[in-house]
């Protein structure tokens, strides 16, 4: 027997009244779980990002390489961006990152940066503003709950996201 749960479109704050139905199967989560990580071969240097997506009984792995000189923070941002952009419909998402930069940025700093014209409280331009804007856009159609997990602490999906990110960084470095 399926049960049906409805939620208002994230980001709409109810002004459009758009609602999506989510079918749930007994014993199967209707939430997309995403585990992300970024890596650099040198910082700055060539980089990579990785993501593990899980939905019910399905899993998908994504990774990418950035051969140009980049930073670990940029790769940490690319992982959730690309994972969220890969979703084909508005979803409830539990997103796990081992980056306090990403989690604090999206949950605490981003609203202030936007209201300050993409400047920090010290009136300096926000670093990686291009990716923060892209992440802000990627989050918009979804209901995303952000979680921090300790990196390299044995969490299987986080470890796998790290392996994928390292693979991307190695490919970017030509190894």
Q: What is the pLDDT of residues 33-57, one digit of tens each?
A: 999 999 999 999 999 999 999 999 9
Q: With 80 as the cut, is the pLDDT of residue 62 above it?
A: yes
User: Domain boundaries in the chain?
Assistant: 3-172
Which residues, including other chains, have CB under 8 Å from residue 116's CB and lie 6 or more apart?
none
Integer Cα distance of 139 and 23 in angstroms: 21
Residues labelled as active-site residues: 37-38, 76, 98, 152, 162
- pLDDT bin (cut points 50, 70, 90) of residue 27 is low
- The neighbour count for residue 90, using CB atoms within 10 Å, is 17
pLDDT of residue 23: 44
Query: 3-172 in CATH: which number?
Result: 3.30.420.10
pLDDT-derived band of residue 30, with 50, 70 and 90 as boundaries?
Answer: confident
Task: Tell me which H or E stretch contains 80.
Answer: helix 72-86
Helices (H) and strands (E) in the chain, counts: 5, 7
Task: Check: CB of residue 76 under 8 Å from CB of residue 127.
Answer: no
Q: Which residue has the tokens 């930073």?
A: 71
Strand residue runs (E) in 18-169: 19-24, 32-40, 45-55, 58-70, 92-97, 143-148
Per-residue confidence (pLDDT) for residue 123, from 0 to 100: 93
Cα 6 to the center of its chain, rounded Å: 23
Q: What is the pLDDT of residues 92-113, one digit of tens each?
A: 999 999 999 999 999 999 999 9
- Number of residues that make up the chain: 175
Is the omega angle on the peptide bond into residue 44 within 30 degrees of 0, that is, cis?
A: yes
Query: What percent of the chain stands above pLDDT 90?
Result: 78
pLDDT (mean) for 80-90: 97
Q: Lowest-pLDDT range, 3-17, 88-102, 129-143?
A: 3-17
Take residue 56 and report the two structure tokens written for it. Answer: 């019910």
Tell me which residue of 44, 105, 115 sits closest to 77, measured CA to CA.
105
Q: Is the distance from CB of 64 to CB of 3 less than 8 angstroms? A: no
| 83: pLDDT strictly greater than 50 | yes
Residue predicted with more confidence, 14 or 134: 134
Q: What is the mean pLDDT of residues 131-153?
A: 95
Note the pLDDT of residue 29.
63
Q: Tell me: the pLDDT tens digits for 147-175?
A: 999 988 888 999 999 999 999 999 999 98
Are 67 and 7 in contact by the 8 Å Cβ rule? The answer is no
More confident residue, 60 or 15: 60
């Amino acid at each position: 027997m399926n049960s049906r749960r409805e939620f208002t479109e994230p980001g709409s704050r109810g002004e459009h009244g758009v609602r999506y139905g989510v079918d749930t199967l007994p014993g199967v989560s209707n939430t997309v779980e995403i585990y992300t990580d970024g890596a650099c071969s040198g910082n700055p240097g060539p980089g990579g990002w990785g993501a593990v997506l899980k939905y019910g009984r399905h899993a998908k792995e994504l990774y990418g390489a950035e051969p140009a000189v980049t930073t670990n923070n940029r790769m940490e941002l690319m992982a959730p961006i690309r994972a969220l952009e890969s979703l084909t419909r508005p979803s409830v998402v539990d997103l796990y990152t081992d980056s306090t930069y990403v989690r604090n940025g999206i949950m605490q700093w981003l609203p202030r940066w936007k209201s300050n014209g993409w400047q920090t409280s010290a009136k300096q331009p926000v670093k990686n503003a291009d990716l923060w804007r892209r992440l802000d856009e990627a989050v918009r159609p979804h209901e995303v709950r952000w979680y921090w997990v300790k990196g390299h602490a044995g969490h299987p999906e986080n470890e796998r996201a790290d392996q994928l990110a390292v693979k991307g960084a190695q490919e970017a470095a030509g190894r």
